[in-house]
Amino acid sequence: MQNKGAIRVFAILLALVSLYQLIFTYQTRQVENEAKEIALGDPQAEINYLDSIANEPVYNFLGLRKYTYKECKEKEINFGLDLKGGMNLILEVKVADILKALSNYNTDPTFNEALQIAEQKEKTTSQDFITLFYSAFKELDSEARLAAIFNTVELKGRIDYNTSNEDVIKVIREEASSAIDNAFNILRTRIDRFGVTQPNIQQLEKAGRVLVELPGVKDPQRVRKLLQGTASLEFWQTYEISELVQNLINANQKVIEIETAKAELEKANQVSSTPQETEAVKPAEDTTSDLLSQLDADSTQVDSLAAQEMSRSLFSVLTPNQRQQGPLVGYSLAKDTSKVNAYLQNEHVRALFPKNVKFMWGVKPLPKRKLADGTTSKEEIYELLAIKVSSQDGRPPLEGDVVTSARAETGQRGDYEISMGMNTEGANVWARLTKENIGKSIAIVLDGYVYSYPTVNVEIKGGRSSITGNFTPEEAKDLANILKSGKLPAPARIVEDTVVGPSLGAEAVSSGLSSFLWAFLAVLLYMIFFYGFKAGLVSDLALLANMFFIMGVLASFGAVLTLPGIAGIVLTIGMSVDANVLIYERIREEMSAGKGVRLAITDGYKNAFSAIIDSNITTFLTGIILFIFGTGPIKGFATTLMIGIATSFFSAIFITRLTYEWLLGKKIDVKFGTKLTNGFMKNTKVKFLEKKKAFFVISGVVILASIASLAMHGLKLGIDFSGGRTYVVRFDENVSASDIQKSLAVEFEGAHVEVKTFGGENQVRIATNFMIEENGTEVDNTIEEKLFNGLKTTLGADVTFEAFINDYRMSSQKVGPTIATDIKTKAYSAIAFSLLVIFLYILIRFRNWEYGLGALIALMHDVIVVLGVFSMLYSIVPFSLEIDQAFIAAILTVIGYSINDTVVVFDRIREYLGLHPKRDKVEVVDSALNSTISRTINTSLTTFVVLLVIFLFGGEVIQGFVFALMLGVVVGTYSSLFIATPVAFSVIDARNKKNLKAKK
Reported as a single tens digit per residue, the pLDDT across 421-435 is 888 888 999 999 999
List alpha helices for 286-364, DSSP H: 287-292, 304-307, 337-345, 347-350
* Residues 6+ away with beta carbon under 8 Å from 722: 769, 820
Q: What is the pLDDT of residue 697?
A: 94
| Cα Rg of the chain, angstroms | 34
Say whether pLDDT at 284 is over 50: no
- Over the stretch 287-303, which tens digit does the pLDDT of each residue have? 434 443 444 433 333 33
What share of the chain has pLDDT > 70, as a percent? 87
Res. 329: pLDDT tops 50: yes
What value does the mean pLDDT take over residues 183-202? 69
| CA 703 – CA 866 distance, rounded (Å) | 10
- Sign for the CA dihedral angle at 155, 157, 162, 168 comes to negative
- Distance from C-alpha of 965 to C-alpha of 949, rounded to nearest angstrom: 12
How much is the pLDDT for 1?
57
Q: Does domain 501-713+821-999 have CATH number 1.20.1640.10?
A: yes
Q: Give the N- to C-terminal CA distance of the chain in Å, as an integer.
A: 53
Per-residue pLDDT, 103: 87
pTM: 0.66
Give the pLDDT confidence score for residue 102 in this predicted structure.
Answer: 83
pLDDT digits (tens, 9 = 90+) for 14-66: 888 888 888 988 888 888 888 888 888 776 677 778 877 877 888 888 878 88
Cα gap 279→47, rounded to integer Å: 14
Q: Rounded CA gap, 859 and 976, in Å?
A: 9
For position 495, what pLDDT does the model report?
A: 76
CATH of domain 724-815: 3.30.70
- The SS3 of residue 811 is strand
Residues contacting residue 151 through CB under 8 Å, at least 6 positions apart: 159, 160, 161, 163
What's residue 299's pLDDT? 38
Q: Domain segments of the chain: what residues?
A: 4-76, 90-231, 238-389, 397-487, 501-713+821-999, 724-815
Which residues, listed in sequence order, are joined to residue 579 by a DSSP beta bridge? none
Q: How far apart are CA 140 and CA 208, in angstroms?
A: 26
Reported as a single tens digit per residue, the pLDDT across 843-860 is: 887 778 888 888 889 988
> How far, in Å, are 612, 651, 973 from residue 938 at the CA level?
15, 19, 11
* Predicted local confidence at residue 111, as pLDDT: 92
Q: Which residues are bridge partners to 78 per DSSP?
A: 560
Which residue has better confidence, 498 or 244? 244
Distance (Å, rounded) from C-alpha 148 to C-alpha 96?
Answer: 18
User: What is the average per-residue pLDDT within 166-184?
Assistant: 84
H helices of 141-164, where? Answer: 147-150
Whole-angstrom distance, CA of residue 427 vs CA of residue 783 = 45
Please, what is the average pLDDT of the chain?
80
Between the ranges 234-238, 611-615, 626-630, 959-963, where is the mean pLDDT highest?
234-238
- Sorting pLDDT into bands at 50, 70 and 90, what band is 762? confident
Q: What is the pLDDT of residue 708?
A: 94
- In tens, the pLDDT along 510-560 reads 776 777 788 778 888 888 988 888 888 999 998 889 889 988 888 888 777
pLDDT of residue 248: 93
Distance between CA atoms of 106 and 99, rounded to whole angstroms? 10
Residue 864 burial (CB count, 10 A): 18
Percent of all residues in the chain with a pLDDT value above 90, rounded to a whole number:
14
List b or e across 628-666, with b for residues whose CB sees 16 or more CB atoms inside 10 angstroms: ebbbbbbbbbbbbbbbbbbbbbbbbbbbbbbbbeebeee
At the top level of CATH, the class of 397-487 is alpha beta
| pLDDT of amino acid 490 | 59
